[in-house]
Chains A and B, each alone.
Chain A
Amino acid sequence: MKVDRSVILGVSVGPLVHIALLFSVFLLFAGHNAPGGGFVGGLVAGAALILRFVDGGAKAVERTVAFAPQQVLGAGLLIALATGIAPWLSGGDFLESAKLSLDVPVIGTMKTTSALPFDIGVYLVVVGLMQFVLLTLGAEDEEDAG
């Protein structure tokens, strides 16, 4: 399945990937109040990785993310677990949520909950999964061709 690289694709993938990644982060943070969330955001980021894959194969995916998929997966699970354990340490129940509002000078008041770090964990796990799939299932292709 070795296909010649399309020039149009090659040129348009770069900006598209960045936009998609940015959008995925937006979905992640907006998710608590509007459609979106960690899972959906992770999927969009995964789709961005697929764009990279279609253009440049597994190598390109590897270059896009600075960390190995194992690290991304592990970090995600750990962050989610930590959000679960944190309220435990301060006397609450496992995964009990807390609200937080910050007054940032220029931007204004930021409100968030402890669900956000948990959602970040979910996001990372989904991204790591897609990264893993593309790197392993996708990598065969190049070896077969070579």
Chain B
Amino acid sequence: MILLLSLHAAVALGASFAGRRLGSRVLYLGAVAPLVTLVWLVTQASTVIDGGSPVERVDWLPEIGLGFDLRLDAFSLLMAGLVSGIGFGIFVYSRSYFGNRSDLGPFTALLVAFAGSMLGVVVADNLLLLYVFWELTSITSYLLIGFSHEKGASRAAALQAILVTGGGGLAMLGGFVLLGQAAGTYSLSGIVAAPPEAPYVAAAAALILVGAVTKSAQVPFHFWLPGAMAAPTPVSAFLHSATLVKAGVYLIARMAPVFVATVGWWRAAVVVIGGATMILGGYRALRQHDLKLLLAYGTVSQLGFLVLLVGSGVPKLTFAGIALLLAHGLFKATLFMVVGIIDHETGTRDLRRLDGLARQMPVVFGVAAIAAASMAGLPLLLGFLAKEAAYEALIEYGGAAATAVVVIGSAITFAYGARFLWGGFASKAAVASPADTPDGPPPVIRLPLPFVAPPIVLAVLTVVLGLAAPAATTLVRAAARSVDLRVTEPKLVLWHGFTVALGLSVVSVAGGLVLFRARAAVERAQAVTDRAPSAQNSYERSVVGLNRIADRVTGTLQNGSLPIYIGVILLTVLALPGSVLLTRASLPSDVTIAESPLQAGVAGAIVAASIATAVATRRFVAVLLLGAVGFGVAVLFVLQGAPDLALTQLLVETLVLVIFVLVLRHLPERFEKAEWRLGRGLRLAVALGIGAFMSSFALVAAGSRRAEPVSNELVERALPDGGGRNVVNVILTDFRAFDTMGEITVLVVAALGIASLVTASRRSTGAADGDAS
């Protein structure tokens, strides 16, 4: 598994480098990673379905319980299969979708990186590792949504997606840490095996739920998913229908057995969130004119259904949920690919402008019909099996309310499925289609095989798995058992007999038909309810509000006045360490004022020059006096026997003086008068205070030495360890080389900063001159 993850990383890197040279063939390079994964999964399948679970472990940061622990059980196998199977199809499909675009290198790289991260999420057996992969999927999703980065709408949608999922991810990390501390281990399988009991496990449950709910676009965080449709359609088909958004469902399924046992409100919360999402998403889907948005809201609805099923922690419901997870991955990716084909061939996804495509693309229509029928839960297909299993379990365990919600949700699902087919393919009398030539029916559009093959394969799988119910049962039951060991009996069967579940299916289909027939009335009703404040609006308002607060805080703290900045810093020094010095420390008793008259003289000169600097009114004079202070200090260094320091000090003073002169040419000759009347007195007070503080601090610090000076050791070790007799230099280049490294980095940054500031200001003054002349 580690090899597979590395393969994804390597392919992603390779694709980003070789993208330009390979052109659109880079997509085939990308397809290698999911293909290899798929082959490996097939080789593992029989072991894993029999209950085995290959494990790989590498220590990473054992101190915080973070290890590279990977584990493939049947549920992971199913998810990984979806990821790499659909991923492979998407790469094949993208070649025809994009044609010959020049930027497919980075696209492929991102898509492979996403596939790898998603694979990591589903095989990670360590909560912290899972979090790492989880955030990687958020980031790659962000970059893919914003792939058309020249469009403002794409960028906004991408930002919204990462703010919502990233915020949820942070909450989830908090939950993971709480849970891991309660359990004493971060191993996912370990926690599931022995659910921890601690008062704060409930908080962990809430935080993890927030993470999963944001990722899987549940109410009230559902709005980012329709926004994410700004991504290219292959991305939507891969990330935003089949894989990424299932991460939350996956996590909820894994966590449900833990939290159902220990947290009282878990089941109710999950059922309410899932049910509300299922209804709201479906309801919104009924009014969309954009086929892709219709599917997006449909996905929101189905995700709600999934959360409701897998989060309940009831074995039979979990089983049905995982069956639906598989079915949904297959049919929703198919439908998205179909939308991509329609968009690519006709140039629009607006169902008001599409007409009669069923005749022009019979194969695509057939594929879409199968997928939509599976989504609607019509017999013989995988979706039907899953929905029947869900109904059966709900009747037994779910209670009337949840069952009713699911029946209504399914009716809406049928209605928007029908709306999709009708909108995309039907001949509508109302639309005057340019395709309708007087010569008869428009010709059949020829589509390249790689374009239609992936959706065809997925549709065929939907049918085959539906007909081969026992095989599907084996896979799904093994997956469900790896989530919850109590799953034993339920089966997916084509024909239960005349049961209540079948009756509910009939009711939902009939309800869906009614809703579809009354679509005009439904749209009118939606126009009214749309005025209610939406989650999208509150998101926008909170982002705007946050920006405004940040502006105000920055404006107050960073007001651009240098005297105020320095004043604040110095006053803080006086207030905190200064007050400690006053109250706690005492001056040493035996102070040598000066070791020689020369020393006293130089010090006197320095003091005089400092005072003169402060009272000077001309800038140039002030700079020269400042230089005098510096040279005085250099003389002191010489007197103390530090030639290296003195040399450096002299050179620095000289160069700084020159730089000052270069800058001074652009400044007024004299300092401005202080506009603030209190200013002078206050500045004087602060200056004197700081002066007194620094002098007494130096005295106290030097007088209260207790430990052996570090410098003694450095001097001793300079020659044997550093190989040099110049201790200063050995410290700079060896003992403290890391500091020096940081300092020269700062120097480089400062040089670049100076250069860009000067260049920028020259450009702006140049422009002003140009205007004047």
Contacts and interface: CB of A to CB of B under 8 A. Distances in A.
Given A40-B644, A97-B734, A132-B754, A122 B744 contact: yes
B653 to A, nearest CB: 10
A115 B730 contact: yes
B755 interface: yes
A interface secondary structure, majority? helix
B732 interface: yes
A99 B723 contact: yes
Interface in B29-70: none
B726 A34 contact: yes
A88 interface: no
A107 interface: no
Given A122-B744, A140-B758, A111 B737 contact: no
A94 B741 CA distance: 11
A44 to B, nearest CB: 6
B730 A40 contact: no
Nearest to A69: B751
A98 to B, nearest CB: 9
A95 B651 contact: no
A3 to B, nearest CB: 12
A136 B759 contact: yes
B287 to A, nearest CB: 57
Contacts of B647: 35-36, 40
B651 A40 contact: yes
A113 B644 contact: no
Contacts of B744: 76-77, 80, 121-122, 125-126
Given A113-B723, A140-B758, A43 B655 contact: yes
Given A113-B722, A138-B662, A31 B741 contact: no
B348 interface: no
Interface string B615-656: 000000000000000000000000000011001100110110
B729 interface: yes
B733 interface: yes
Nearest to B735: A97
Contacts of A47: 651, 654-655
A39 B751 contact: no
Contacts of A134: 662
B738 A32 contact: no
Contacts of B750: 129
Given A43-B651, A73-B748, A137-B758, A31 B662 contact: no
B756 to A, nearest CB: 9
Nearest to B657: A50
Contacts of B503: none
Nearest to A42: B651
A137 B662 contact: yes
B6 interface: no
A75 to B, nearest CB: 11
A43 B646 CA distance: 13
Given A1-B665, A73-B751, A137-B659, A38 B733 contact: yes
Nearest to A97: B734
A16 interface: no
Contacts of A111: 723
Contacts of A99: 723
A137 B754 contact: yes
B725 A32 contact: yes
Interface string B735-746: 001101100110
A56 to B, nearest CB: 15
Given A37-B729, A73-B751, A95-B737, A115 B648 contact: no
B762 A140 contact: yes
B663 interface: yes
Contacts of B747: 73, 125-126, 129
Interface in B685-728: 721-726, 728
A71 to B, nearest CB: 12
Contacts of B728: 37
Nearest to B737: A95
Given A36-B729, A37-B732, A73-B751, A133 B662 contact: yes
Contacts of B722: 97, 113, 115
Nearest to A1: B665
Contacts of A33: 724-726
Given A43-B651, A94-B738, A35 B726 contact: yes
Contact of B758 (A37, A128, A136): A136
Contacts of B724: 32-33, 113, 115
Contacts of A22: none
B569 interface: no
A7 B723 CA distance: 47
A39 to B, nearest CB: 6
Contacts of B758: 136-137, 140
A141 to B, nearest CB: 7
B729 A119 contact: yes
Contacts of A35: 643-644, 647, 726
A128 B748 CA distance: 8
Contacts of B723: 32, 97, 99, 111-113, 115
A37 B754 contact: no
Contacts of B721: 97
B658 interface: yes
Given A50-B655, A128-B751, A129-B751, A32 B741 contact: no
Given A35-B643, A84-B741, A113-B734, A133 B726 contact: no
Interface string A97-129: 101000000000001110100110110011011
A97 B721 CA distance: 9
Contacts of A132: 751-752, 754-755
Given A1-B665, A37-B728, A43-B655, A118 B648 contact: no
Contacts of A73: 747-748, 751-752
Contacts of B729: 31-32, 36-37, 115, 119
A115 B734 contact: yes
A143 interface: yes
Nearest to B650: A43
B423 to A, nearest CB: 58
Nearest to B755: A136
Contacts of A80: 740-741, 744
A39 B651 CA distance: 10
Interface string A35-70: 111111001101100100100000000000000011
Contacts of A130: 655
B16 to A, nearest CB: 23
B723 to A, nearest CB: 4
A54 to B, nearest CB: 8
Contacts of A44: 651
B593 to A, nearest CB: 29
Contacts of A38: 732-733
A86 interface: no
A134 B759 CA distance: 13
A37 B733 contact: yes
A113 B723 CA distance: 7
Contacts of B748: 73-74, 76-77, 125, 128-129
B726 A37 contact: yes
Interface in B501-531: none
A13 interface: no
Contacts of B752: 70, 73, 132
A39 B644 CA distance: 11
B769 to A, nearest CB: 10
Given A34-B726, A74-B748, 9 more contacts: A37-B733, A77-B745, A97-B723, A113-B723, A113-B734, A118-B733, A119-B733, A132-B755, A133-B754
Interchain residue pairs A-B with the least CB separation, the first 4: A32-B724, A43-B651, A115-B733, A136-B758
19 contacts: A31-B726, A32-B724, A35-B726, A37-B729, A47-B651, A50-B654, A74-B748, A84-B738, A95-B737, A97-B721, A97-B734, A122-B744, A126-B744, A126-B747, A129-B751, A134-B662, A136-B754, A136-B755, A137-B663
